[in-house]
A and B are shown apart, each in its own frame.
Chain A
Amino acid sequence: MADGTYPEDLLYHPEHDWARIEGDTATLGITWFAQDALGEVVFFDPPEVGSTVTKDEAYAEVESVKAVSDVIAPLSGEIIEVNTALADAPETINSDPYGEGWLVKIRLSDPAEQDDLLDAGAYTAQLS
């Protein structure tokens, strides 16, 4: 991807994570900016299904050729699904960060937390 894209329908966390909220569940991933800064992703170390994640805390690790980085949860909840396809193709996080490169799905424990997140405009404003 040559340029950064930040879909309007997502909510963003300043630590470069996105959330797609559908009812009481959310799909989480990392932003175009995050994958670009990391470089080629070679490994995704997912959390266990059933474990809980807490907003603003690390819940998984993404390893690139440069570094291993914590992934910060934009919202709190329980892991209900992890993207197992990333085990064989972690580079999908680079090529399609908002689609096939999603990381986990959670059941929200406190939907009100989403009020703290940024919209695409506010997130991109703080990138520059």
Chain B
Amino acid sequence: MSRYTSVTPDDLREMLATIGVGSIDELFDAVVPEGVRLGREIDLPDGMTEQDVYDHLRDLAALNTSTEDEITFLGAGMYDTYVPALIDMLVTRSEFLTPYTPYQPEISQGGLQVMFEYQTAISELTALPVSNASVYEGPSALAAAGYLARLANRKGRFVISRAVHPHSRETLRTMARGYGVEVVEVPLRDGVTDPDAWAAAIDDDTSAVFFQNPNFLGAVEDAEALAGAAKNSPAVVVGAYDPLTLGILVPPGECGVDVAVGEGQQLGNRLDFGGPSFGFFAATEAYLRRMPGRIAGETRDVDGRRGFVLTLQTREQHIRREKATSNICTSQALNALAGVVYLTWLGRQGIVEIGDLLLQRTAYAREKLAAVDGVTLLHEQPAIREFAVRVDAPVQRVIEYCQDLGVNPGYALGRDYEEFSDGLLVALTEQRTREQIDLLAQVLGEAVAAERGARAEVTA
């Protein structure tokens, strides 16, 4: 008998007697055909004692390197941003931390008010009139925007820039396959979406176009030009944005973007080994009824007092079943709460200041690294918080060399871009000081010199 269920030998005898078989084996012989039976023990290790399990898990955990353990310049979509204690204080309140999705949402006015305030912040940040209460994360937000476009115009092709985050491109492809939309990828030129190839790829059958700003290589795209190229087509213009750059970039709503999406981790959420985080999703009013997920609305009760409701629920799958606008019936409420608390903590001035700070640190780091022997800039486009360099030595070995010296220099671009096998993507957050940037330049210089030598020895 399994030791995890509570059937006693007496229970077992009674049950077998009731159905009229002598043993478990006899029961299985009677109902499970020989051909589908394993006929041996399952190959699993023996159980461990609680203390042994603890030791084992501790050893596994020790294999992780967290951003607390090294000076990290690793980004590529998620960033080591400082999370003020205020956020933990608020998100761990049991009213927010413990409830399951409320089936009578209007009972939880506080929860709805948080959603409404979050939506208001995202709407102001993106300069788009409608925001939902968040989705799972950045890549699924982008893919959901594709589905919105498909519902809206029934066209057969998505055009996506190769400078969009690889995870987002992958997620879009996965989803598009399900509803029979072809995905066309537009190549890069000088670190940004090739404007000619982009324009040439858009036609009357384009359902949506997707770009990212700043793009995966850290370069700021000409959003207005990219959106403008789709103007005379049926395409819905989707822009994936880094929310922390929206204090200094022209917001998507003022660039001709119809749907702005993005990863929200940067806003008050720790890396947490990759998640959970949240994705934001904002759109023009024309797409209000095609939006995925929940939307909180402000209203007045019978006595004229301000209150909040879940609105436009008729789009959702608990009402519309198979005709719902998406299969997302919830939000990442707790992570989005951290997001709105973070934005409130930053404030209107703070979001601009943090953008300026990132801009300056990035410019400084870029200049320092470009001066390192064996390191060249991969592109010279404007960059806000991340930039790409080429390294004249095997990138993975350079990264490991630096890590041994306590500095993680960034992301090996070759993991996603075969054309940039010598590429290193370097991210800055407000946590990286000038001294740490100087240290990066020094360590990277040593690493390139050493690994270049190693390669020379191998070839000799």
Instruction: Show the binding face of A for B, using Cβ within 8 Å.
Output: 43, 45, 63-68, 70
Contact = CB atoms under 8 A, between A and B. Distances in A.
Given A67-B314, A68-B314, A68-B319, 8 more contacts: A43-B289, A45-B289, A63-B314, A64-B314, A65-B314, A66-B314, A67-B319, A70-B323
A117 to B, nearest CB: 26
A63 B325 CA distance: 13
Contacts of B314: 63-68
Nearest to B314: A68
B6 to A, nearest CB: 45
B221 to A, nearest CB: 33
In the A-B complex, list the 9 residue pairs whose CB atoms are closest, starting with the nearest.
A68-B314, A63-B314, A68-B320, A67-B314, A67-B319, A43-B289, A68-B323, A68-B315, A63-B289
Contacts of B323: 68, 70
16 contacts: A43-B289, A45-B289, A63-B289, A63-B314, A64-B314, A65-B314, A66-B314, A67-B314, A67-B319, A67-B320, A68-B314, A68-B315, A68-B319, A68-B320, A68-B323, A70-B323
Interface size class of B (residues with CB under 8 A): under 10
B148 to A, nearest CB: 14
Among B314, B319, B320, find the residue whose CB has the most chain A CB atoms closer than 10 A.
B314
Interface of B: 289, 314-315, 319-320, 323
Contacts of B319: 67-68
Contacts of A67: 314, 319-320
Contacts of A70: 323
Nearest to A48: B154
A67 B317 CA distance: 11
Nearest to A58: B323
Nearest to B315: A68
B105 to A, nearest CB: 16
A49 to B, nearest CB: 15
Contacts of B320: 67-68
Nearest to B320: A68
A68 B318 CA distance: 12
A43 B314 CA distance: 11
Contacts of A43: 289
A65 B320 CA distance: 13
A45 B289 CA distance: 10
Nearest to B325: A68
Contacts of A68: 314-315, 319-320, 323
A65 B297 CA distance: 14
A82 B98 CA distance: 49
A64 B289 CA distance: 12
A63 B315 CA distance: 9
A67 B312 CA distance: 9
A7 to B, nearest CB: 29
Nearest to A70: B323
B451 to A, nearest CB: 60
B423 to A, nearest CB: 46
Contacts of A66: 314
A66 B319 CA distance: 9
A62 to B, nearest CB: 10
A15 to B, nearest CB: 16
Contacts of A63: 289, 314
B152 to A, nearest CB: 10
A67 B314 CA distance: 5
A45 B152 CA distance: 11
A91 B438 CA distance: 66
A70 B323 CA distance: 10
A86 to B, nearest CB: 14
Among A65, A66, A67, A68, find the residue whose CB has the most chain B CB atoms closer than 10 A.
A68
A63 B323 CA distance: 13
A107 B414 CA distance: 59
Nearest to A68: B314
Nearest to A45: B289
Nearest to A66: B314
A48 to B, nearest CB: 9
A109 B340 CA distance: 56
A5 B310 CA distance: 34
A14 B95 CA distance: 49
B312 to A, nearest CB: 9
B309 to A, nearest CB: 11
B82 to A, nearest CB: 44
Contacts of B289: 43, 45, 63
B151 to A, nearest CB: 10
A84 to B, nearest CB: 15
A48 B258 CA distance: 21
B284 to A, nearest CB: 15
B298 to A, nearest CB: 17
A90 to B, nearest CB: 12
A63 B313 CA distance: 11
A64 B314 CA distance: 8
Contacts of B315: 68
A45 B154 CA distance: 14
